[in-house]
């Protein structure tokens, strides 16, 4: 059984990798098309790339609380297979939209692919504690996040060249309208096949009655965790995604014009940010060893803050920008891994799916607010440097609040959880001999 779970962890990484890759390939194609000088730039106006990000984020907010119930009620393996099968049909829709150059069809496919990812998210993170023991959970999270960001690299790296092929800047170069859609379809098929390799897992709360309400589940789950370290970890995670995933990432397409580079070269910057974040996650997981180390959160938040301020003063040089982005991504990994592991570890198995649904929602609520702040900043005339200064100021505020309020809370909660586990283990050893 242990070997089956080890294989399952590998298949989980492959399944997640393919899903995240497809999300980002499609999103990047749209972001380049909607950004300044893109083929759909005039359709949605200034800062149009934010709308592509919103189309990916809003379904997560609307559905994550609802979908978290399914990962508690049903087998997470079965749910994952059904979700990944739907991705094949969504990829086919995206392919048709791209072939016919229909912005609205492609945006619709992005919304649908986000919806199926919202179902997969709680199942994916919820099954992780079922596949690996607690003392390897930090390492497993670091590895899973590393593969997630490698997938973001694939999406970012392919998004630029595929856009250059789909809408070449040189008028005499023929457009290959079918290629991006075929790539999306192939990745979806591979991800679906890998989902069948997941081990059979029992439902954790088979008697749970699914509530067909979008937001009530969030309210009920929040009432369960309000005032606890889990709630604080969810808030900290959401704020971080507001800054990094909602504001900072949207600046990068503008560098196509600022640095006078191709979409493929901008994709290289996005890929570098993603790979450095993945490496940071992996290193943080390895540094954590068999423990959850909240002190890494401080290190990650401070490092990310410094990186944003450096981007604000950096000259318009491709390699300088790349170096600063790599630093931001690497340090972000140290912030993310301990928070994510705490949320999984401090939540009861019966409630874990719903909490992870709320956590998923928090991530994308943060992204949505970040997108709106980006749109406001651009319409107020903020330059890219100004936006990065804003990100630096916001992460600095997170550092201060963490040191004043959250750090002691997290350390105490983890110590108490370890003490309870020690007592439970002692009782388990004593009971048979009694």
Residue 180 has pLDDT above 70, yes or no: yes
Q: What is the CATH number of the domain that holds 387?
A: 1.20.1250.20
- In this structure, of 135-144, 179-188, 393-402, the range with the lowest mean pLDDT score is 135-144
Residue 267 has pLDDT above 50, yes or no: yes
Residue 307 has pLDDT above 90, yes or no: yes
Q: Quote the pLDDT of residue 36.
A: 62
Distances from the Cα of 81 to the Cα of 117, 124, 138, 210, 314, angstroms: 12, 11, 26, 19, 46
Residue 215 located in a structural domain: no
Q: Quote the pLDDT of residue 289.
A: 78
Can you give the three-state secondary structure of 44-110, one letter per residue?
HCCCCHHHHHHHHHHHHHHHHHHHHHHHHHCCHHHHHHHHHHHHHHHHHHHHHHHHCCCHHHHHHHH
Most confident of 103-112, 236-245, 281-290: 103-112
Neighbour-count burial of 424, counting CB atoms closer than 10 A to its CB (0-12 exposed, 13-18 middle, 19+ buried): exposed
Residue 239 located in a structural domain: yes
The model's confidence at residue 173, banded by pLDDT at 50, 70 and 90, is: low
Of the candidates 81, 229, 106, the one whose C-alpha atom is nearest the C-alpha of residue 166 is: 106
Residue 428 has pLDDT above 60, yes or no: no
Of residues 365 and 323, which shows the higher confidence score? 323
Looking at the 3D structure of the chain, how many domains does it have?
1
Residue 168 has pLDDT above 60, yes or no: yes
Of residues 3 and 358, which shows the higher confidence score? 358
Residue 425 located in a structural domain: no
Q: Quote the pLDDT of residue 358.
A: 81
Residue 196 has pLDDT above 80, yes or no: yes
Which residues have C-beta within 8 Å of that of residue 32, sequence separation ≥ 6? 38, 49, 159, 160, 163, 167, 253, 256, 263, 266
The model's confidence at residue 433, banded by pLDDT at 50, 70 and 90, is: very low
Give yes or no for a contact between 64 and 120, defined as CB atoms under 8 angstroms apart: no
Residue 16 located in a structural domain: yes
Mean pLDDT computed over every residue of the chain? 83
Q: Quote the pLDDT of residue 3.
A: 61
- In this structure, of 231-235, 263-267, 328-332, 415-419, the range with the lowest mean pLDDT score is 263-267
DSSP state of 406: I
Kindly state the percentage of the chain with pLDDT values over 90.
Answer: 23
Residue 231 located in a structural domain: yes
Range of the domain at 48: 2-201+221-419
Residue 192 has pLDDT above 80, yes or no: yes
Of residues 410 and 349, which shows the higher confidence score? 410
Mean pLDDT (whole number) for 91-99: 93
Mean pLDDT (whole number) for 176-185: 90
Residue 54 has pLDDT above 60, yes or no: yes
Residue 294 located in a structural domain: yes
- In this structure, of 93-102, 177-186, 359-368, 410-419, the range with the lowest mean pLDDT score is 359-368
Of residues 339 and 173, which shows the higher confidence score? 339
**Tens digit of pLDDT for each residue in 350-382?**
787 778 778 877 887 888 888 888 888 888 888
Residue 305 has pLDDT above 90, yes or no: yes
Residue 146 located in a structural domain: yes
Residue 197 has pLDDT above 70, yes or no: yes
Residue 95 has pLDDT above 90, yes or no: yes
Mean pLDDT (whole number) for 401-410: 91
Q: Quote the pLDDT of residue 89.
A: 95
Residue 315 has pLDDT above 50, yes or no: yes
> Could you give the count of Cα atoms lying within 13 Å of 256 in the half-sphere of its Cβ?
22
Q: Quote the pLDDT of residue 354.
A: 76
Most confident of 205-219, 259-273, 322-336, 376-390: 322-336
Residue 69 located in a structural domain: yes
Mean pLDDT (whole number) for 155-162: 78
Mean pLDDT (whole number) for 243-254: 80
**Alpha helices (H) along 100-227:** 103-131, 137-166, 179-195, 216-225
């Amino acid at each position: 059984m242990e070997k089956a779970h080890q294989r399952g962890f590998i298949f989980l990484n492959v399944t997640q990798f393919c899903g995240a890759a497809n999300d980002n390939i499609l999103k990047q194609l749209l972001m380049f098309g909607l950004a300044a000088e893109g083929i759909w730039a005039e359709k949605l106006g200034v800062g149009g790339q934010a709308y592509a990000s919103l189309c990916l984020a809003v379904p997560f907010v609307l559905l994550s609380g609802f979908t978290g119930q399914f990962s508690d009620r049903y087998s997470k393996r079965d749910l994952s297979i059904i979700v990944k099968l739907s991705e094949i049909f969504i990829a086919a829709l995206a392919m048709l939209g791209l072939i016919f150059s229909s912005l609205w069809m492609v945006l619709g496919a992005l919304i649908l692919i986000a919806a199926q990812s919202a179902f997969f998210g709680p199942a994916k993170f919820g099954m992780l504690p079922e596949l690996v023991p607690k003392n390897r959970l930090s390492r497993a999270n670091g590895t899973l996040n590393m593969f997630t960001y490698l997938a973001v690299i694939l999406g970012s790296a392919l998004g630029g060249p595929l856009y250059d092929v789909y809408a070449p800047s040189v008028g005499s170069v023929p457009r290959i309208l079918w290629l991006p859609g075929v790539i999306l379809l192939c990745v979806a098929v591979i991800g679906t096949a890998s989902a069948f390799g997941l081990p059979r897992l029992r439902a954790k709360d088979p008697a749970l009655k699914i509530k067909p309400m979008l937001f009530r589940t969030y309210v009920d789950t929040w009432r369960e965790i309000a005032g606890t370290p889990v709630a604080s970890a969810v808030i900290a995670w959401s704020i971080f995604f507001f800054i990094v995933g909602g504001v900072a990432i949207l600046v990068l397409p503008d560098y196509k014009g600022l640095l006078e580079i191709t979409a493929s070269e901008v994709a290289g910057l996005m890929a570098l940010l993603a790979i450095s974040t993945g490496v940071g996650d992996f290193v943080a997981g390895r540094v954590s060893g068999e423990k959850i180390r909240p002190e890494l959160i401080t290190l990650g938040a401070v490092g990310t803050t410094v990186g944003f301020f450096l981007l604000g003063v950096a000259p318009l040089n491709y390699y300088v920008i790349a170096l600063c982005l790599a630093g931001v991504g690497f340090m972000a990994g140290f912030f993310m891994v301990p928070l994510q592991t705490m949320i999984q570890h401090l939540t009861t198995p019966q409630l874990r799916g719903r909490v992870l649904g709320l956590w998923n929602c928090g991530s994308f609520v943060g992204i949505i607010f970040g997108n709106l702040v980006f749109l406001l900043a651009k319409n107020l005339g903020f330059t890219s440097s100004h936006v990065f200064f804003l990100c630096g100021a916001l992460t600095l505020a997170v550092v201060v609040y963490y040191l004043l309020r959250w750090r002691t809370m997290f350390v105490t909660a983890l110590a108490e959880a370890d003490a309870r586990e020690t007592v439970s283990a002692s009782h388990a050893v004593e009971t048979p001999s009694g």
